Structure 1
Amino acid sequence: MARISQHLSTIALLLELSIIHICSAQQVYVFTTGISPRPHCSASYDKAPATPTYRFSQFSFTQTETYRYATSIPPPRTTKTYARPYRKLKTLIPPLQTTTWGNWNPNDTAATDTADPYGQAAWSSLWEWAAPANYTTTGIYSTTVTPTPIPSSELVLPPKDYFGPTDCYKFPKDFIFGVAGSACQIEGAIAREGKGPNQMDVWSEPGEPNNYVTNENYYLYKQDIERLASLGVKYYSFTIPWSRILPFAFPGTPVNSAAINHYNDLIDFVLSKGMTPTVTMIHFDTPLQFYGTNITSRQWRNGVMGVGSGAYGNPLFEDSFVHYGKILLTHFSDRVPIWFTFNEPMLFCDTGASVNNVIKSHARVVHFYKEVIKGTGKIGIRLHDPFSVPLNPQNQTHIAAAHHINSFHLDTFWNPLVLGIDYPESFKMAITDYVPLTPKDLAYLKGTCDFLSIQPYTASVASPPPGGIESCAKNSSSEYFPFCVKLQSTNIFGWNFGYRSYSRVYTTPEYLRTYLNYLWNTFRKPVFITEFGFPVFGEADKEVREDMLYDSPRSNYYLSFMTEVLKAIWEDGVNVMGALAWSFADNWEFGDYDARFGLQVVDRETQERYYKKSFFDLVGFVRDRHPNYEES
């Protein structure tokens, strides 16, 4: 282990020297005195005498207020395709049996087709086995709601904050901008129209808010899309639940035709509004069948590398996920140009086998898309990493700690999937049951990400743990295991390194620019920000809706992050291909509704949505700087 530690230190030092050389946005503490510079002021202004001339004038109310309306996305003029339609692709996968199921209620014994292993009775038994706590079907809707136009009164832009961006840059013509959401957090209707149970449906403990109804997006998706298009959003990123497509999860089991019809309709409606869809295949919502029979123990909430187990290490997982991915790609890839296999897989990896199954199932799906379907879109995997910077950038052990945890989060997946090289030592020294990758594996895995998908909500500050990284990696009972780095949110002077929101998210735009530089220059692929957002502190405690809507801290977060994206593009030469804001509406955040990341308020009693100020500010920022936005 001593040789490994020495090797790690050498790599960390070389990486640090390399990053300092290539990244103009590198973090450095520089002591300064005197007045703060104001680069937007002319040189002569600072030299002018501080002697004003006072005078009287006739007073009148001459203040004026400019107003404008949000501009809707125009209907599409042409329809672009990215693969052949399903009728021409279905021969590329084994024949699929399709069927429909109804709805489930506790103690429902109406089904009599007990001899059918995949009939209504068998489907209902899945929910009886899952036994979601305090299950209720209470909701307003039971069928798809016909959308209505958004009144112009809702589309008037709010007053701008006094201080705002001062940049003079434009986004590249092909820059992607949109919003994101995930099915388990917005759809509701969890035991409706044939959907089977998944991990998120039984995530909440008794007494905790659950996802049974949430935003009822399963029925309100057209109205939600109408609202996005009316405000000027061009990309809509959503997830498709595996358990809704394949309620019995495994290859050879029937496909839910109601689910196929639903997402066909959703995709077509997105396109009809002039928007572009992107799809994620799994967002923490693993079908419960992969957990075996002990699901009620909640042991799967205790993760090693993240917050729980996604059952990715199940021996049946890889083949099953690939089968599910092939169903999605053959049915929808003609109209969907961007695909993501996994969302933040490390948060639900608990063994070396789970990481192995994630990267190999991802690569198999990509090879199927590229080589069999011959899709012309893009595909990748969405990673989570609160990018770590050294607590003291002049301290080599702090620099090594930052490199260590960043490599654990990122290199574990992108070393094999992007570069075709082995797992990093930071991963292997702690996760000793990792599955070794052969040269044949690495050749197959290499280049199976078209971009680097990251979700940089905030940054973190890293330093070594007590006793050092190597000692921690040998001790699985250490509070710092397995990442073996001490993380904090304060700088060396004791200040929080950014404005704090709910749920430990800090406004850290300068570190975002550093992160973008790190990614681009390390892995040399375009960077795609596929989630970023800000839950304003105390927003759930506000009693007046207008106070929730006027969310200047969130506006500041988004505009500062997007400003740093522009700087990274134009000043550092980083290829940032796009950004998707999380989330387009307040939703269920894995056990509560208090962490409100949404760009819209959702009234939980009526399901009405209301645009927040930050939504107008963010869309306006992009529209003013994007050559593809045309005023109607």
Structure 2
Amino acid sequence: MARYSHLVSGAALLLQLQHAHIAYAQQVYILFNGTSPRPDCTGCDIPATPTYKFSSFSFTQTETYRYASSIAPATTTMTYARPYSALSSLVPSLTTTKWGNWSPNDTAATDTADPYGQAAWSSLWAWANPTNFTTTGIYSTTVSPTPLPSSELVLPPKDYFGPTDCYNFPADFIFGVAGSAAQIEGAIAREGKGPNLMDVLARPGQANNYVTNENYYLYKQDIERLASIGVKYYSFSIAWSRILPFALPGTPVNQAGIDHYDDIINFVLSKGMIPTVTIIHFDTPLQFFAANVSAKWDDVAIGYTNGAYQNSTFEDAFVHYGKIVLTHFADRVPIWFTFNEPLLYSDNGASINTVVKSHARLAHFYKDVIKGTGKIGMKLNDNFGVPLNPKNESHVAAAYHFNSFQLDTFWNPLVLGVDYPDAFKITVPDYVPLNATDLAYMKDTCDFVAVDPYTATVVSPPPGGIEECAMNSSSPYFPYCVVQQTNNTFGWNIGYRSYSYVYITPEYLRTYINYLWNTFKKPVFVSEFGFPVFGEADKAVVEDQLFDTPRSLYYLSFMSEILKAIWEDGVNVMGVLAWSFADNWEFGDYDARFGLQVVDRTNQKRRFKKSFFDLVDFVRDRHPNYEST
């Protein structure tokens, strides 16, 4: 590889000085000689000469087994705000209606004089023109849940080597699983749902999300399964276009959508579980793309996909939608995420401006207006950047730049009440400046810092340096402006590689959450983490998919490092949400399998994977108050 200068630019040096107080968290390569330590071994001084003997032989092994423990049904329900009946005046003049279904061969509706009637709603889908549209799912109505047979809840054989820690989670530690509407619901163009970006995202040759897991109809059985294996928190997202098919303020609310998510929340609570909700998970209604509905979604300046956040009407419309959701459901939901990984769907500086300002407005509405007593924040992406050579100052500065661009851009104003970081401002020259009034209003509008730390990436400066790259949007390293690689300075991959881009990197997770805690001084929430086992979709025998030891290693090692961060580093980690509770639609692909359950796409049957049992068992063994958190 190329050798890079040890000199640090002025901006990079400033970043180093800003973060000097957390330098202790950096990984450093230290030469170690001798055998591997065995701290738990108390018999290492046994004489080296064994005594051999004969004995009578018989098959004396016994195979023990036990069942997963389900969550106890609810006896009481906590509330975190007043019910909708007491808050409805905060979103005045709402009208509700119901629409039917759509498919390309339907007979045209006749209520053409109604601007929001069935004909107008159907025309949205005709305009969206989803490719190869199909409604060939198995279900068309909500399926009643059935108890799981005990045979599905027998724990699998343990791996021979496992965690040996002696730590417990704090009594209020959150453990749950997550999913998102577009990736699990299906039921596209059913019961009044309008078209959104996810419904037309698939490129030629990719899979669409029209059916996916049919969770829209199977949500009760999915929740029944989660409660039966012992999951306490269920995190899901609400589809904006299922609540407001016409997207904008002043348009009717889809009563079927309100009823659907209301019933999800109530059923979660009835099973003794607790819901958490994401208000938007990439699924922008198509109206914000206007005439550009057929545009290349990946033709963006700083993100991966154009989420239309830069549209001048987006902020007010999103805040209006968010107010509808909060007034209807905040009484029963204790944790809210406004945006999921907004950088990935931001086009330019105006996009970031929309995200931070609309989040702050909704946070103030939640805290100051409806007086919600739960917590609100947003989820950010960042495969944490660690320096290729931790003793090289330019590599350390590159790591700070990489992480600052993705994290500090949002949490500087929303947590600390300070300006955007230099990493963002030198890269995105069209950013919208924030003034002192903006920053005072935004400060402390995130109750936690939530990240989706799937893995880590090794970084070093790009040829020509960070600043030169930041001024050249055609650079192959733009917009992060660092060299990213997956091996360390000795040529080893930084961990076991999965299906595509995720590596098992538990020690870097600990570094990551140290960075977050000591930079932003807020509880850290691991809001997604998961692992697609290499080649899992290619395994013809389902039992081979179920026995997913690499995924178990991923989860248990990450959880072990979280415990170390809590007890050895003093980091407040408020909880984790595993992604995902079942294999789902990964934005055009069903083969990148992050799920804790296998899904048979011919009959929608779910089966628990070994890692699900292992993860739940790990938490329950170490949670002193699991049933009542």
Task: Calculate the TM-score normalised by the size of structure 2.
Answer: 0.98
* Cα pair 1:134 1:206 within 8 Å, conserved: no
Cα distance in 1 between the residues matched to 2:91 and 2:10: 46
Q: 1:59 aligns with which of 38, 48, 57?
A: 57
Cα distance in 2 between the residues matched to 1:380 and 1:17: 26
Q: 1:92 aligns with which of 81, 90, 93?
A: 90
- Report what 2:105 is aligned to: 107
* Cα pair 2:97 2:252 within 8 Å, conserved: yes
Cα distance in 1 between the residues matched to 2:530 and 2:301: 26
- Report what 1:305 is aligned to: 302
- Report what 2:226 is aligned to: 228
- Report what 2:13 is aligned to: 10
Cα deviation code 1:405-449 (max 9, x no counterpart): 100000000000000000001001010000000000000011000
1:295–1:119 Cα change, 3 Å: same
- Report what 1:290 is aligned to: 288
- Report what 2:325 is aligned to: 328
Secondary structure at the aligned position of 1:37 is classed as coil
Residue 334 (structure 1) shift: 0.4
Do structure 1's residue 186 and structure 2's residue 189 form an aligned pair? no
- Report what 1:127 is aligned to: 125
Cα deviation code 1:105-147 (max 9, x no counterpart): 1032331000000000000000000000000010100000000
RMSD: 1.1
Kindly report which structure 2 residues correspond to 1:188-207, keeping only aligned pairs within 5 A, or say none. Answer: 188-207=186-205
Secondary structure at the aligned position of 1:268 is classed as helix
* Cα pair 2:16 2:400 within 8 Å, conserved: no
Cα distance in 1 between the residues matched to 2:144 and 2:168: 37
* Cα pair 1:12 1:399 within 8 Å, conserved: no
* Cα pair 2:201 2:297 within 8 Å, conserved: no
Mean alpha-carbon deviation: is it higher for 506-515 or for 300-309?
300-309
Q: 2:569 aligns with which of 566, 569, 572?
A: 572
Q: Which amino acid aligns with 2:51?
A: T
Secondary structure at the aligned position of 1:507 is classed as coil
* Cα pair 1:16 1:399 within 8 Å, conserved: no
Cα distance in 2 between the residues matched to 1:9 and 1:266: 48
Structure 1 segments of 4+ aligned residues over 6 angstroms from their partners: none
Cα distance in 1 between the residues matched to 2:375 and 2:460: 37
Q: Which amino acid aligns with 1:512?
A: L
* Cα pair 1:401 1:463 within 8 Å, conserved: yes
* Cα pair 1:585 1:599 within 8 Å, conserved: yes
Cα distance in 1 between the residues matched to 2:300 and 2:581: 29
Secondary structure at the aligned position of 1:530 is classed as strand
Cα deviation code 1:283-338 (max 9, x no counterpart): 000000000112123x2222322211100000000000000000000000000000
- Report what 1:428 is aligned to: 425
1:619–1:582 Cα change, 3 Å: same
Cα deviation code 1:130-184 (max 9, x no counterpart): 0000000101000000000000000000000000000000000000000000000
Cα distance in 1 between the residues matched to 2:32 and 2:118: 72
Cα distance in 1 between the residues matched to 2:121 and 2:107: 12
Q: Which amino acid aligns with 1:219?
A: Y
Aligned residues: 621
- Report what 2:355 is aligned to: 358
Do structure 1's residue 41 and structure 2's residue 72 form an aligned pair? no
Residue 627 (structure 1) shift: 1.1
* Cα pair 1:452 1:528 within 8 Å, conserved: yes
Cα distance in 2 between the residues matched to 1:73 and 1:48: 45
Secondary structure at the aligned position of 1:46 is classed as coil
Cα distance in 2 between the residues matched to 1:66 and 1:171: 27
Do structure 1's residue 602 and structure 2's residue 599 form an aligned pair? yes
Cα distance in 1 between the residues matched to 2:224 and 2:543: 22
Q: Which amino acid aligns with 2:330?
A: S
Q: Which amino acid aligns with 2:54?
A: F
Q: 1:258 aligns with which of 245, 256, 259?
A: 256
Do structure 1's residue 484 and structure 2's residue 487 form an aligned pair? no
Kindly report which structure 2 residues correspond to 1:240-279, keeping only aligned pairs within 5 A, or say none. Answer: 240-279=238-277
- Report what 1:496 is aligned to: 493
Cα distance in 2 between the residues matched to 1:428 and 1:20: 24
Structure 2 spans left out of the alignment, 5+ residues: 1-7
Cα distance in 2 between the residues matched to 1:293 and 1:303: 17
- Report what 1:381 is aligned to: 378
* Cα pair 2:12 2:398 within 8 Å, conserved: no
Cα deviation code 1:549-607 (max 9, x no counterpart): 00000000000000000000000000000000000000000011000000000000000
Residue 15 (structure 1) shift: 4.3
- Report what 1:142 is aligned to: 140
Q: Which amino acid aligns with 2:12?
A: S
Q: 1:73 aligns with which of 68, 71, 80?
A: 71
* Cα pair 2:386 2:396 within 8 Å, conserved: yes
Q: 1:529 aligns with which of 504, 526, 531?
A: 526
Residue 53 (structure 1) shift: 1.1
Q: Which amino acid aligns with 1:543?
A: A
Residue 11 (structure 1) shift: 2.2
Cα distance in 2 between the residues matched to 1:41 and 1:15: 42
- Report what 1:548 is aligned to: 545
* Cα pair 2:530 2:594 within 8 Å, conserved: yes
Q: Which amino acid aligns with 1:540?
A: A
Q: Which amino acid aligns with 1:382?
A: K
Secondary structure at the aligned position of 1:381 is classed as strand
Kindly report which structure 2 residues correspond to 1:506-517, keeping only aligned pairs within 5 A, or say none. Answer: 506-517=503-514
Do structure 1's residue 393 and structure 2's residue 396 form an aligned pair? no
Cα distance in 2 between the residues matched to 1:15 and 1:535: 36
- Report what 1:462 is aligned to: 459
* Cα pair 1:554 1:614 within 8 Å, conserved: yes
Cα distance in 1 between the residues matched to 2:401 and 2:318: 30
Cα distance in 2 between the residues matched to 1:371 and 1:248: 28
- Report what 1:168 is aligned to: 166
Cα distance in 1 between the residues matched to 2:297 and 2:606: 34
Cα distance in 2 between the residues matched to 1:174 and 1:397: 40
Secondary structure at the aligned position of 1:158 is classed as coil
Q: 1:404 aligns with which of 382, 392, 401?
A: 401
Residue 13 (structure 1) shift: 2.9
1:630–1:81 Cα change, 3 Å: closer
Secondary structure at the aligned position of 2:316 is classed as helix
Cα distance in 2 between the residues matched to 1:504 and 1:85: 44
Q: Which amino acid aligns with 1:585?
A: A
Q: Which amino acid aligns with 1:408?
A: F
Cα distance in 1 between the residues matched to 2:533 and 2:9: 43
Cα distance in 1 between the residues matched to 2:374 and 2:111: 43
Secondary structure at the aligned position of 2:169 is classed as coil
- Report what 2:441 is aligned to: 444
- Report what 1:28 is aligned to: 28
Do structure 1's residue 563 and structure 2's residue 560 form an aligned pair? yes
Cα distance in 2 between the residues matched to 1:64 and 1:256: 58
Cα distance in 1 between the residues matched to 2:105 and 2:59: 69
* Cα pair 1:133 1:205 within 8 Å, conserved: no
Percentage of matched positions with identical amino acids: 74
Q: 1:239 aligns with which of 211, 219, 237?
A: 237
Do structure 1's residue 586 and structure 2's residue 589 form an aligned pair? no
Mean alpha-carbon deviation: is it higher for 411-420 or for 70-79?
70-79
Residue 6 (structure 1) shift: 4.3
Cα distance in 2 between the residues matched to 1:466 and 1:192: 51
Q: 2:22 aligns with which of 19, 24, 30?
A: 19
Cα distance in 2 between the residues matched to 1:397 and 1:491: 16
* Cα pair 2:451 2:528 within 8 Å, conserved: yes
Cα distance in 2 between the residues matched to 1:571 and 1:10: 29
Cα distance in 1 between the residues matched to 2:292 and 2:451: 33
Cα distance in 2 between the residues matched to 1:302 and 1:533: 28
Cα deviation code 1:197-250 (max 9, x no counterpart): 000000002331110000000000000000000000000000000000000000
Q: Which amino acid aligns with 2:113?
A: A
